[in-house]
Amino acid sequence: MSIYLDSAIAAEAEVARQLGWVKGITTNPTLLSKTDLPVQTILKKLAELTTGPVFYQLMSSDLNGMVAEGRAAFEIIGQQTVLKIPASLVGFQAVASLSPEIPCAVTAIYSAAQAAVSQEAGATYAIAYVNRATRLLGDGVALVREMASVLTGSNTEILAASIKSPEEAAASLQAGAHHLTLPLGMLQSMTTHELSQKTIDEFAHNGRGI
């Protein structure tokens, strides 16, 4: 399992790096729009702030444009590149074209059928938008479970995204997600529990050490 930061802000990537257990960075066009830096500059910076994958989402809408944009992203990010490609007819064509040369993640998946095609097209990851699916379809964790069922024995791994609470993160993993991507605040929330703090305070008050 890997846990990634979901952000395009370099200062957040630096905080995540210092946590020591965050394994890579996912971005999307909306996250990239939150920084004024040129996209190439921010992608290079993010790649310096992690030794793991840096996910970049293609914006082109036609196959030739997607293939060219994916190769351009690889020129910027290098070996850490993972291309996020939206689940659509042309998106799956792009995954089939690009996945032999650059790892691909199919993003914005809302059905187990799309997960099945992700595998056939050669995607390394199938990204479930868990909380969005709960809001729009009723049960995002059930979507992860269905995706895990169709991907049993496959090399395509489920990355759970759009997660809004530690409980939703844990439920996604229990449902079969292999990886999580979380905003910085959520990464921090994953580490704490009010009873942990109470226990820590009790030891600090009563105990002694070296």
Give the residue with the Cβ less far from ligand E4P, 49 or 186.
186
The minimum distance between CB 210 and ligand E4P, in angstroms, equals 43
69 binds ligand E4P per the rule CB under 6 A:
no
Give the whole-angstrom CA distance, residue 19 versus residue 192: 13
> Residue 175 has which token pair?
């449902």
Letters for 147-186 (x = contact with ligand E4P by CB under 6 A, - = none) are: --------------xx------------------x-----
Q: Which residues of 23-45 are buried (b: 16+ CB within 10 A; e: fewer)?
A: bbbbbbeebbeebeeebeebbbb
Give the whole-angstrom CA distance, residue 179 versus residue 169: 9
Question: Catalytic pick from 44, 84, 164, 198?
Answer: 84
49 binds ligand E4P per the rule CB under 6 A:
no
The minimum distance between CB 90 and ligand E4P, in angstroms, equals 19
146 binds ligand E4P per the rule CB under 6 A:
no
Give the residue with the Cβ less far from ligand E4P, 49 or 54.
54
Annotation marks residue 84 as catalytic: yes
The minimum distance between CB 1 and ligand E4P, in angstroms, equals 16
Closest CA to 171 of 139, 138, 132, 137: 139
Beta bridge partners, 56, equal 83
127 binds ligand E4P per the rule CB under 6 A:
yes
Longest dimension (CA), the chain: 66
118 binds ligand E4P per the rule CB under 6 A:
no
DSSP annotation string for 126-164: EEEEHHHHHHHHS-HHHHHHHHHHHTTT-S-EEEEES--
125 binds ligand E4P per the rule CB under 6 A:
no
Q: Interface residues with ligand E4P (CB under 6 A)?
A: 6, 26, 28, 127, 129, 131-132, 161-162, 181
Q: Which residues are catalytic?
A: 84
